[in-house]
């Protein structure tokens, strides 16, 4: 599930919880909406933490040489 799916879960959960007054026999739509919002928020947190790990800065393959001193700075 991507970031878009998580946002859709949050939106659908919020609609079920706050914008509807339907009555369903055997199910509480407010609780279902809260569960969908919680799953969406957990998904967003997981997605962003995984995305942060993928952004690893790779050092350049060619060495950088300081022209004034003629040596490598690291």
Residue 40 located in a structural domain: yes
**How far from the centroid of its chain's Cα atoms is residue 60's Cα?**
29
Q: Which parts of the chain are beta strand (E)?
A: none
Half-sphere exposure of residue 64, counting CA atoms within 13 Å on the CB side?
4
pTM for this entry: 0.68
pLDDT at 52: 76
Residues of the domain holding 38: 3-51
Q: Is residue 46 part of a domain?
A: yes
- Residue that is written with structure tokens 């995305």 in the block: 51
23 within domain boundaries: yes
Query: Mind listing the pLDDT tens digit of every residue in the chain (74 residues)?
Result: 788 999 999 999 999 999 998 888 999 999 999 999 999 999 999 998 888 777 666 666 666 665 666 555 55
Question: Does residue 24 lie in a domain region?
Answer: yes
70 lies in some domain: no
Whether residue 33 is contained in a domain is answered as yes
- Domain assignment present for residue 21? The answer is yes
Q: Give me the number of domains the chain comprises.
A: 1
Question: Would you say residue 74 lies in a domain?
Answer: no
């Amino acid at each position: 599930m991507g970031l878009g799916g998580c946002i859709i879960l949050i939106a659908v959960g919020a609609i079920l919880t706050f914008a509807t007054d339907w009555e369903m026999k055997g199910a509480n739509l407010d609780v279902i909406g809260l569960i969908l919002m919680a799953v969406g928020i957990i998904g967003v947190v997981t997605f962003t933490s995984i995305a942060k790990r993928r952004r690893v800065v790779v050092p350049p393959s060619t060495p950088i040489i300081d022209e004034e001193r003629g040596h490598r700075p690291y």
